[in-house]
């Protein structure tokens, strides 16, 4: 079993994240994971989303699962922790945890399945060896 690095990004709840029940809307948690991944792809892996686009490649989320533990609210700060669990021929499974700061209490966790696609046609493409190597740290 491979073990891959976990990376963290700190984010804050924005006013437009709040729903009618005065906590973060459930769909925003995936936005936080996406924002963290964009940061981590560039800062931690050394291959940003723009670098993928320059190669004519992009990532498509094919599935997501979120386990909600406790809500985030207006003004809260969080740490979004992400790591690759496994690779497939055309993508990967990304695990994540979102913890409320400063106490570090778990707000939610889950995973997302991503497929690498060719931007020109939107079809899945095999994961190039150099990309898999960069993301296998």
Q: Could you tell me the pTM of the whole model?
A: 0.95
Residue 1 lies in a domain: no
Please provide the DSSP assignment of 104-130 as one string. Answer: TEEEEEEEEEEEEEETTTTEE-PPPHH
Domain that holds residue 34: 7-134
- How many domains is the chain built from? 1
Residue identified by tokens 């995973």 is 111
So what's the pLDDT on residue 65?
A: 98
CATH code of 118's domain: 3.10.129.10
List, for residues 38-93, the tens digit of each pLDDT value.
999 999 999 999 999 999 999 999 999 999 999 999 999 999 999 999 999 999 99
């Amino acid at each position: 079993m491979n073990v891959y690095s976990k990376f963290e990004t700190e984010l804050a709840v924005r006013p437009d994240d709040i729903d009618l029940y005065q906590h973060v809307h459930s769909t925003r948690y995936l936005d936080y994971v996406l924002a963290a991944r964009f940061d981590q792809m560039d800062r931690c892996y050394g291959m940003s989303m723009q670098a993928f686009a320059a190669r004519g490649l992009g990532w498509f989320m094919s599935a997501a699962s979120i386990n909600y533990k406790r809500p985030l609210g207006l003004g809260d700060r969080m740490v979004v922790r992400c790591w690759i669990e496994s690779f497939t021929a055309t993508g990967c499974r990304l695990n994540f945890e979102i913890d409320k700061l400063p106490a570090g209490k778990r707000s939610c966790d889950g995973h997302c399945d991503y497929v690498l696609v060719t931007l020109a046609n939107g079809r899945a493409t095999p994961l190039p060896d150099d990309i898999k190597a960069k993301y296998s740290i």
